[in-house]
Amino acid sequence: MGRRVAYGHDGRSVTLTDVILRHGGEAQESRDAFAALGDEKRAAVLAFLRSLVLFPPDDTASNLDPGDPRTPLFPQFGHGSIKLTVLFNDPSEKE
């Protein structure tokens, strides 16, 4: 997640802190807990989030197809996946 340029479904948040603090609704309690953290604990949460790998939609990890754990560098390579590209098709574009 740390390699992204913008965060959130609309891309309006420039940092992870921004996107967390913009949350409300169902995430309000988590947002408030993050806001209440001291600098050291907040930095630890952000470091953890930056360590996460987001797979692109056409290569989404899934336990529906567990992959092959014998593959070198598993799970980054050889992980199971499901194809989600059809969900991101634009119906106005010709295929």
Contact 88, 57 (CB under 8 A): yes
**pLDDT value at residue 87:** 60
**What digits encode the pLDDT tens for the residues 71-95?**
888 777 777 766 666 665 666 666 5
**pLDDT value at residue 36:** 98
**pLDDT value at residue 71:** 83
**What digits encode the pLDDT tens for the residues 4-61?**
667 777 777 888 999 899 988 888 999 999 999 999 999 999 999 988 876 555 656 6
Domain layout of the chain by residue ranges: 1-53, 55-95
Beta bridge mates, 67: 79
Written in H, E and C, the secondary structure of the chain is: CCCCCCECCCCCECCHHHHHHCCCHHHHHHHHHHHHCCHHHHHHHHHHHHHCCCCCHHHEECCCCCECCCCCCCCCCCECEECCHHHHCCCCCCC
**pLDDT value at residue 38:** 97
